[in-house]
Amino acid sequence: MEIVYVYVKKRSEFGRQCNFSDRPVEINVDIHPDPSQATNFIERNPIDTGIQCASDMSEHEVNTERFEMENEGVNHLEGGWPKDVNPLEMEQTIRFRKKVEKDENYINTIMQLGSLMEHCIKQNNAIDIYEEYFEDEETADIADEPPSAKTITVFRDPNVIKRTATHLSWHPDASKKLAVAYSSLEFQRSSKEMSYDSYIWDLESPNRPEQLLRPSSPLVSLEYNPKDSHVLVGGCYNGQIAYWDTRKGGQQVELSTVEFSHRDPVYGVIWLQSKQGTDCFSASTDGQVLWWDIRKFSSPTLLVAKEVLKRRSLKPVLWMYSHGAESRLYPTKFMVGTEQGMVITCNRKAKTPAEKIVGTYSGHHGPIYALARNPFFPKNFLTVGDWTARIWSEDSKESSIMWTKYHMAYLTDGCWSTVRPGVFFTAKMDGTLDVWDFLFKQNDPSLSVKVCDEPLFSLRLQDNGRFIGCGSKLGTVTLLEVSSGLCTLQRNEKNLARAMFERETKREKILEARHREMRLKERTKAEGKEEEVK
């Protein structure tokens, strides 16, 4: 059956807008049912039919191919020298420069460039495009929002046998890279199948580490060089010191010899402020503090042996501090924490062993796991050990000036905020991160975050004060971002923190003088009774 319907329209009406109107129903075609087709169908009674007004849709998910990124280093060599001049020979280069400086063409060129440079200098002196008009104004107060922290990303140990994230180090050039040292700190619990590798992670690709670091023994500590971001130094579990250059791959560039290294795991390794940027020092539980130059790892450049520390009946060194501002103020002094809960101030340039120990601070009941100076007030430093964190002043050696309450869980690490003088962070064995703001309240932390279920072992804050990494016992590194109120300097905060530290230091001095006076009276009474008995 063929159905044909012809539509007739004038040429002038082509493209004209359609105007619809109501009109009676009109039947154009009527198709009658064919009884012979009924045998092909099965009757169904009752009949339930669902009708949708929308067309059928299907959902599909497609993963696009990930763009693989690689970092490659380029070694630049000084060029432009004539063939007969060796750029590595200083005498030849100096002789060639003197010869060129006497050339008339060179002098004329410099004179022409000098006028252009003088014009640019005058422009810069007239208008400073980098001038900050409101730098003297105090930072405005942040809106009253409750302190908070959110998880940004999580890095997990890619190996089957999980190890503890013992130390974290941020890339010094504000890059989104984090170096993590992995090791098993439980004595004789490491298996032969356990990996020795540590990793450098990129925050934008948390699924796979950016670079491997292959040490001869598991790394307990790892630090970026602040002057050369390609160089890292690490302390091994067997006591050796090694350093890496990321431009040369993951193999260690040089390793210290066993006979001149530590005898215990190296729990602390820190770069020194020097012109070359190649000096560092390390501390271990064998009671030694060693100074190293990575250009010559055959033997340490300076040694503070454990015999010096044993003179004061102290046990081995556990942790130490270093800060940029502090190193400039006290270039010859350093501090170490001991397993007995005591902090020792040492002088590395002392000539006799007795002069190497300057003073001691005693206040913890167990090993000191973290020791850091306040970046704004170097005379005040933070110690973390047993169940508390304590703030000390160099002027008060008998007791700390401030301390936190005793927690139910053991404290494992701590650090100061890099942007706020009254804020510091502590990590606990129950997997909790505490943020303390002593200008706000002293009895309880301003913020407590349950990071994970396993114990936290390491803590490191980025220089901007916003991102903090927390390493756990099972090798999980959680990156948190704190709220703007915890990483923004408040109005008049420096003056308030200085006044608080000075007030507490003065109070402790008064109490120390009172205790000395009472002890003197008791001694005098005891001597008087002995004379009466005689």
Instruction: Give CA angle at 115 (110, 119), nearest 5°.
Output: 140
Are 374 and 416 in contact, with CB atoms under 8 Å apart?
yes
What does the pLDDT average to over 315-323? 42
For residues 243 and 215, give the distance between their C-alpha atoms in angstroms, rounded to a whole number: 9
**What does DSSP assign to residue 443?**
S
pLDDT of residue 188: 64
Question: Long-range contacts made by residues 401-405, C-beta under 8 angstroms, separation at least 24?
Answer: 401/501, 401/504, 401/505, 401/507, 401/508, 402/438, 402/442, 402/504, 403/363, 404/436, 404/442, 404/445, 405/443, 405/444
Instruction: Please tell me which residue, 412 or 7, carries the higher pLDDT value.
Output: 412
User: Within its chain, how far is the Cα of 333 from the centroid?
Assistant: 25
What does the pLDDT average to over 494-513? 87
Give the rounded percent of residues in the chain with a pLDDT score beyond 70: 90
> With 70 as the cut, is the pLDDT of residue 534 above it?
yes
pLDDT of residue 427: 92
For residues 384 and 366, give the distance between their C-alpha atoms in angstroms, rounded to a whole number: 10
pLDDT of residue 331: 57
Q: Which token pair is 166?
A: 């013992």
pLDDT tens per residue across span 136-147:
665 444 446 788
CA distances from 428 to 345, 425, 431, 460, 499 (A): 26, 10, 6, 14, 29
Are 297 and 241 in contact, with CB atoms under 8 Å apart?
yes
> Using 50, 70 and 90 to split pLDDT, how confident is the model at 191?
confident
Every domain of the chain and the residues it spans = 149-517
What does the pLDDT average to over 155-161? 86
What does the pLDDT average to over 41-55? 75
> With 60 as the cut, is the pLDDT of residue 481 above it?
yes
Instruction: Report the SS3 class of residue 106.
Output: helix
> With 70 as the cut, is the pLDDT of residue 447 above it?
yes
Are 149 and 447 in contact, with CB atoms under 8 Å apart?
yes
> Using 50, 70 and 90 to split pLDDT, how confident is the model at 44?
confident
Q: Which token pair is 486?
A: 């915890």
Contacts of 167 (CB under 8 A, 6+ apart): 180, 181, 219, 220, 221, 222, 223, 458, 460, 471
**What does DSSP assign to residue 422?**
T
Topology classification of domain 149-517: Methylamine Dehydrogenase; Chain H (2.130.10)
pLDDT of residue 137: 60
Q: Which of 122-126, 217-221, 285-289, 326-330 has the lowest mean pLDDT?
A: 326-330
Are 203 and 210 in contact, with CB atoms under 8 Å apart?
no
> With 60 as the cut, is the pLDDT of residue 14 above it?
yes
> Using 50, 70 and 90 to split pLDDT, how confident is the model at 307?
very low
What does the pLDDT average to over 89-116? 87
> With 70 as the cut, is the pLDDT of residue 477 above it?
yes
Q: What are phi and psi of 11, to 5 degrees?
A: -65, -35
For residues 290 and 276, give the distance between their C-alpha atoms in angstroms, rounded to a whole number: 18
For residues 169 and 458, give the distance between their C-alpha atoms in angstroms, rounded to a whole number: 10
For residues 86 and 415, give the distance between their C-alpha atoms in angstroms, rounded to a whole number: 50
Instruction: Please tell me which residue, 169 or 188, carries the higher pLDDT value.
Output: 169
Q: What are phi and psi of 425, to 5 degrees?
A: -120, 145
pLDDT of residue 189: 67
Assess whether the previous peptide bond of 87 is cis (omega < 30° from 0): no
For residues 164 and 184, give the distance between their C-alpha atoms in angstroms, rounded to a whole number: 6
Are 374 and 398 in contact, with CB atoms under 8 Å apart?
no
Helix (H) or strand (E) holding 531: helix 493-533
Query: Strand runs (DSSP E) across 156-286, as ranges?
Result: 164-170, 177-183, 198-202, 211-213, 219-224, 231-236, 241-245, 254-255, 266-271, 279-284
> With 80 as the cut, is the pLDDT of residue 256 above it?
yes
Are 340 and 314 in contact, with CB atoms under 8 Å apart?
yes
Give the rounded percent of residues in the chain with a pLDDT score beyond 90: 5
> With 70 as the cut, is the pLDDT of residue 328 above it?
no
**CA dihedral over 245, 247, 250, 251, signed as positive or negative:** negative
> With 80 as the cut, is the pLDDT of residue 316 above it?
no
pLDDT, mean over the chain: 81
